[in-house]
Structure 1
Amino acid sequence: MSDYQVRTAHILTRIEQLAAISEDASGATVTRTFGTPAFVRGRDLVQSWFEAAGLVTRLDGIGNLRGRWASRRPGAQTFVLASHIDTVVNAGKYDGPLGVLMGLSLVEDIIQQQVDLPFHLELMAFSDEEGVRFHTAYLGSKVVTGAFDPALLAKTDAQGLTLAQAIVEMGGDAAQIPAGALPAAEWLGYFELHIEQGPVLWGSGVPVALVTALVGQQRVELTWQGMAGHAGTVPMARRQDALAAAAEFVLAAEAFALAPGRGLVATVGQLRIAHSASNVIPSQVVHSLDLRSPDARQLATAYGALHAQAAAIAARRGLVLDWQLVQAIAPVACDAGLNDLLAQAIAASGYPVVPLVSGAGHDVVPASAVAPATMMFIRCYKGISHNPLENVEAADVAAALEVAERFLQRLAVAYA
């Protein structure tokens, strides 16, 4: 068994230990959303591993776990290895945590080998990337990059608890959030390891891919307001059915994205029917809309066209439409210099360089606004993610570990 195989076995054992900590008391599913007791227990476990490795470890104001290995070089900058440890509901085991624990393995080996790096290494386990609880992604990485908006502290979760209150409950301190930012002058770069969450690598059999860019996103919340009525007495032609309007829009969004040449995806993944009953015409429906494209102009065109379609549906059906933009993220290109080093590391490890655009958002997005940033995908089972079937093969993780190590070696030479 090679050293990479031994280290991979250790990583995957830790993955299982972390996955055993969940909001689901039965242990049947993995759910660790930001700020919950299960999240805190999971973070505490990962923190114990950081500390055992010899990292100088701390929690910042938003609850990010940060471990630092300092260079002896005067004036050294900081290179960040990171991913997230929060999950979606009914999640897989690998989305986020695999990148954190592979990063930990890389740092552990550097410490054990007493490698003298020309830069500081900071390993980060971000507290919130998924945005499940407060419907705003990248809370953790936005703090580190100085992009956190204090107005977000007033956002509430489904139970009416504000983000500020949730931070207190998890042992954080919102007043310390500004101090969590790593100044732009101190950044050398950012590197994230993550499962692909798509089927390209699975179909090709190649263990890793070079991420060249990440799609832009527009997230919208639509509220359709109609009129409740008796299901048996209101004639079909006189109804103001909010659910029927929402359903028409969902299919219109799907048809728009399916049209040739669009270059985007459109998803309605959340829908709430107020005061729902089998014998009542729905009066109010609230649902999401998620638009993604690597082309900023395509994204803007889709946003405008679908907004117009929604307004037309509401007018024709006699409903009031409230269209609220929740989040807007521009497409991001990874850094050419770091990508060149990563491509060299992939080729030197004996694998073809597969360039991919990420259709999912990652913490590399806010990081790229302040520093050179790059990302590597790892092959995952059938490309399945955000699903308990999410899985990886040990051989692919070992290959990715070797590539990542070669990448850091090349980075150290480049900045020697």
Structure 2
Amino acid sequence: MTSRLAPDSLTVAERVLDRCDELAAISSSPELLERVHLSPEHRKANDLAAGWMEEAGLTAWQDAGGNQCARLEGVDPGLPALLLGSHLDTVRDAGRYDGMLGVLLAIEVAARFARRGERLPFALEVVGFTDEEGTRFGNALLGSRALAGEFDPEWWESRDRDGLTLREALIDFGLDPSRIPGAARRPESLVGYLEVHIEQGPYLEDADRALAVVSSIAGARRFEFTMTGVAGHAGGTPYDRRRDALVGASELVVGIEEIGRGSGVIATVGRLQAFPGGVNVIPGRVDFSLDLRAESDEDRDRALADIRRRAREIAERRGLRFESREIYRADSTPCAEWLRDAVASGIRHTGDAEPMTLWSRAGHDGMAVSAVTDIAMLFVRCGNGGISHHPDEAVTLQDVALALDAFEAAVLAVADRVRAEPERLGGAR
């Protein structure tokens, strides 16, 4: 495959990477990157991004949810907007491209239209979402949920590790909790949402490809499992009389991996704790977690049913009791076919005649935004084996330049579709 780049794309990509470095310097810790919702670092990042947005020829503002936004009008003032963006917050000990790269590429794409004086049949809006990660208060996607009109008032009493509530933190940040509804967009005010994001996986790197179309964002469910048996003396209890909760839980963990591998679903046990925890005591209870993700809700739930059947069989055979409690659910978010087509067209513009398609194993702001408009995503190759949420996150200058050109071409493909089907300006989905 021979890649094609616009004359200035490498120069712009270099600026994007330099700006990723500038954002990465805004951290609550000198040793690692951490920038969380409603923190002083959040304000600094928004201010820096706002300056870049204004420099690009956009009109910038911070909305009532703390998202940093900007707008470039279309052929007529007040037209519905095509949203471009990603998030500016991070996990603890983060890399410098997760989220940030997508915001900066969105700014540069909008800047290209602004500098050419090219007006589209819709407005362009860039958004740097806050709190996609949920690092501070434990509720992810707070910024994008506010934009989608999906903010739950019960979240106001969520507390950070210092005991501060979300409501108190918002007020300290200078925002008014009563004005959160003002961040919500109406479906008729939007055309769609496009996001560029690093893949956060190894598939593009393994295929030696730079870019991919995203088919859907994973549907996830999370559980707290408990396997209960009878604690006993390690030396005095014969094997045939043991009801060892840890052995039963361990057998299920292996079974979970087997079911995940066999079904194409991602099933992960990330936490396991045995009680009472003595080195010479047979565990009487084990608490463990399950994180289950799949391209479709049907695949995910089918795997869950298999896991539950396996758990019951193990518990019955070993004289144990198995219990489960669901603690999180996010159904899968398919990307809209017409916007997927636009993203694929953008990738073909760079010289890749047959764009690769991947489903996102990680969650993204598009999951929330899909409540109010159609979404699609463009993945960029993530180096070092696809590692993410880690300082070793890596992208190449060439791949960022290709993503820039593909993103711009995708916007132009959306414009062509809207000109052919103007009813899409009214929020048709």
Q: Which TM-score tier does this pair reach, normalised by the shorter chain?
A: 0.7 to 0.9
Residue 342 (structure 1) shift: 2.3
Distance 1:124 1:329 in 2: 22
Q: Which residue of 1 aligns with 2:11?
A: 6
Assess, with a 3 A threshold, how the Cα gap between structure 1 residues 414 and 34 changes in structure 2: closer, same or farther: same
Provide the TM-score with structure 2 as the length reference.
Answer: 0.84
Residue 18 (structure 1) shift: 0.9
Return the match for 1:355 from 335, 357, 372: 357
Kindly provide the amino acid, as one letter, of the partner of residue 107 in structure 1.
A
Contact conserved, 2:213 with 2:379, CA < 8 A, in 1? Answer: yes
Distance 2:325 2:224 in 1: 5
SS at match of 2:394: coil
Contact conserved, 1:272 with 1:286, CA < 8 A, in 2? Answer: yes
Residue 338 (structure 1) shift: 1.8
Deviates more, 1:121-130 or 1:143-152: 143-152
Assess, with a 3 A threshold, how the Cα gap between structure 1 residues 118 and 265 changes in structure 2: closer, same or farther: same
Deviates more, 1:146-155 or 1:10-19: 146-155
Contact conserved, 1:60 with 1:172, CA < 8 A, in 2? Answer: no
Which aligned pairs between 1:5-404 and structure 2 lie closer than 5 A? Answer: 5-26=10-31, 29-73=32-76, 76-222=79-225, 246-259=249-262, 262-271=263-272, 286-310=287-311, 323-352=324-353, 353-381=355-383, 382-404=385-407
Percent identity at matched positions?
Answer: 38
Contact conserved, 2:185 with 2:372, CA < 8 A, in 1? Answer: no
Write the deviation string for residues 74-102 of structure 1: whole angstroms up to 9, x where unpaired. 55111100111122222211111100011
Kindly provide the amino acid, as one letter, of the partner of residue 46 in structure 1.
A
Residue 117 (structure 1) shift: 2.1
Deviates more, 1:293-302 or 1:238-247: 238-247
Kindly provide the amino acid, as one letter, of the partner of residue 22 in structure 2.
Q
Write the deviation string for residues 254-307 of structure 1: whole angstroms up to 9, x where unpaired. 232123xx1201012345678977788777765432101123222112223334
Assess, with a 3 A threshold, how the Cα gap between structure 1 residues 335 and 102 changes in structure 2: closer, same or farther: same
Residue 144 (structure 1) shift: 1.0
Q: Which residue of 1 aligns with 2:409?
A: 406
Provide the TM-score with structure 1 as the length reference.
Answer: 0.86
Contact conserved, 1:273 with 1:284, CA < 8 A, in 2? Answer: yes
Residue 376 (structure 1) shift: 0.6
Residue 180 (structure 1) shift: 0.9
Assess, with a 3 A threshold, how the Cα gap between structure 1 residues 356 and 258 changes in structure 2: closer, same or farther: closer
RMSD: 3.1
Assess, with a 3 A threshold, how the Cα gap between structure 1 residues 97 and 75 changes in structure 2: closer, same or farther: closer
Q: Which residue of 1 aligns with 2:427?
A: none
Distance 2:361 2:74 in 1: 35
**Any gaps of 5 or more consecutive residues in structure 1?**
none
Assess, with a 3 A threshold, how the Cα gap between structure 1 residues 388 and 362 changes in structure 2: closer, same or farther: same
Assess, with a 3 A threshold, how the Cα gap between structure 1 residues 288 and 6 changes in structure 2: closer, same or farther: same
Kindly provide the amino acid, as one letter, of the partner of residue 20 in structure 1.
A
Assess, with a 3 A threshold, how the Cα gap between structure 1 residues 231 and 97 changes in structure 2: closer, same or farther: farther
- How many residues align structurally? 412
Deviates more, 1:358-367 or 1:11-20: 358-367
Residue 389 (structure 1) shift: 1.4
Contact conserved, 1:60 with 1:176, CA < 8 A, in 2? Answer: no
Kindly provide the amino acid, as one letter, of the partner of residue 358 in structure 2.
L
Distance 1:171 1:320 in 2: 50
**Any gaps of 5 or more consecutive residues in structure 2?**
1-5, 420-429
Residue 196 (structure 1) shift: 1.3
Residue 223 (structure 1) shift: 5.4
Q: Which residue of 1 aligns with 2:3?
A: none
Contact conserved, 1:83 with 1:126, CA < 8 A, in 2? Answer: yes
Distance 2:122 2:254 in 1: 52
Assess, with a 3 A threshold, how the Cα gap between structure 1 residues 255 and 165 changes in structure 2: closer, same or farther: farther
Assess, with a 3 A threshold, how the Cα gap between structure 1 residues 319 and 405 changes in structure 2: closer, same or farther: same
Assess, with a 3 A threshold, how the Cα gap between structure 1 residues 182 and 275 changes in structure 2: closer, same or farther: farther
Q: Which residue of 1 aligns with 2:418?
A: 415
Assess, with a 3 A threshold, how the Cα gap between structure 1 residues 78 and 272 changes in structure 2: closer, same or farther: farther
Distance 2:291 2:194 in 1: 26
Residue 189 (structure 1) shift: 0.7
Assess, with a 3 A threshold, how the Cα gap between structure 1 residues 275 and 155 changes in structure 2: closer, same or farther: farther
SS at match of 1:257: helix
Distance 1:376 1:100 in 2: 13
Distance 1:87 1:342 in 2: 26
